[in-house]
Amino acid sequence: MCPGIVPPYLLRHLSQLDRDDLRAASEAAQRTLASPFPPRPPRPTATPSRPPSTTAPTGPDRTISDAHGTQSLPGEVVRREGDDPTGDPAADEAYSGLGATYELFARAFDRASIDGAGLPLLATVHYGRDYDNAFWDGDQMVFGDGDGQVFGRFTASLSVIGHELTHGVTQYTANLTYQGQSGALNESLSDVFGALVEQHARDQDAAEASWLIGEGLFTDQVQGTALRSMKAPGTAYDDDVLGKDPQPATMDDYVQTSDDNGGVHINSGIPNHAFYLVATALGGHAWERAGRIWYDTLTAGLEPQTDFADFAAATAAAAAQRFGPTSREHGAVREAWSTVGLPIGDTGTTQ
């Protein structure tokens, strides 16, 4: 299954509504849930999980296609690299968002595209009818238009575009298993770099940033600001239709569930909050120090089934290696993980 930005529990909740004023949203959620993610096209050769990143960034190579309300990929090409804007907000937002994501990884981490080797960036807009999701399918981005009652178009949020493309970066590096804690880390890493894409594009420092994932997705009929909050997990929305944001901020509230691949969209709030704490403790542009530590960790050879404790220890080791074991950065990492309930001992493992 390809990860989507909207958790399945939200879509199920919407699909079960029996309200005349939200019938369109309910039916759109039903269709979205019933639509299988498209199969990935066969690759000419197997893709290694950790290919060398030796290509110098030279600029993105973007192609935007339009599915025209169908679920056929990739659709009709409407904009290629260097073309003028189309005038279609979804196509032009997708083009800009792919570029902003490329720019973060190129400028902050010297990474040439998603695979580190200049992979062309592909996206399809207007996928399906009122489709309530966006996802990375292993080869390209896919964006729905939303139902117009609860969700607007999914290209409108830069953090969503950065989030989903980062699933591609994870695919080409740690390739974290999409289940349980490793799956929650997969989701969290996408939130981390999705937030950094937005902050980098806006030249925001950690104190200025909203730390919201999916800000701008909800219509004005929803009592909520975004899908998730890294600053305060569990507070992104509290709505009579959607319910309350279920994310925990610490291990004290960790959710044991078999739903959503073992709670990957819920428990990601814990490592999300740890990153927020590191970034705000260090201040400045979050991609320069906190983001560098997380990127070093992601690309250092994590095991696919890495859990929270091992990831916490790995970020501490990455901070010590890059900035020194007595550095402010290393101290901030250790303090953040302790705050969320994963203290790191002197031996470099969580206690």
How far is it, in rounded angstroms, from Cα 344 to Cα 351?
6
* pLDDT-derived band at 150, boundaries 50, 70, 90: very high
CB 228 within 8 A of CB 193: no
pLDDT at site 37: 64
pLDDT at site 273: 98
pLDDT surpasses 70 at 41: no
How, if at all, do strands 212-213 and 228-229 pair? antiparallel
190-205: pLDDT as tens digits: 999 999 999 999 999 9
Catalytic residue list contains 164: yes
Domains in the chain with CATH codes = 8-172 (3.10.170.10), 180-339 (1.10.390.10)
pLDDT at site 49: 45
43-61: pLDDT as tens digits: 333 344 444 556 789 999 9
90-149: pLDDT as tens digits: 999 999 999 999 999 999 999 999 999 999 999 999 999 999 999 999 999 999 999 999
Mean pLDDT of 181-185: 97
pLDDT surpasses 90 at 235: yes
Answer with the residue of higher pLDDT: 220 or 40: 220
pLDDT at site 17: 86
How far is it, in rounded angstroms, from Cα 197 to Cα 193?
6
Q: At what angle do helices 269-282 and 328-339 cross, to 10 degrees?
A: 150
Sheet (strand 76-80) strand order: 76-80, 62-66, 121-125, 141-143, 134-136
Answer with the residue of higher pLDDT: 329 or 221: 329
Tell me the torsion sign for CA atoms 125, 130, 133, 137. Answer: negative
pLDDT at site 53: 54
pLDDT surpasses 60 at 347: no
Active-site position among 93, 164, 187, 198? 164
Active-site position among 126, 167, 265, 285? 265
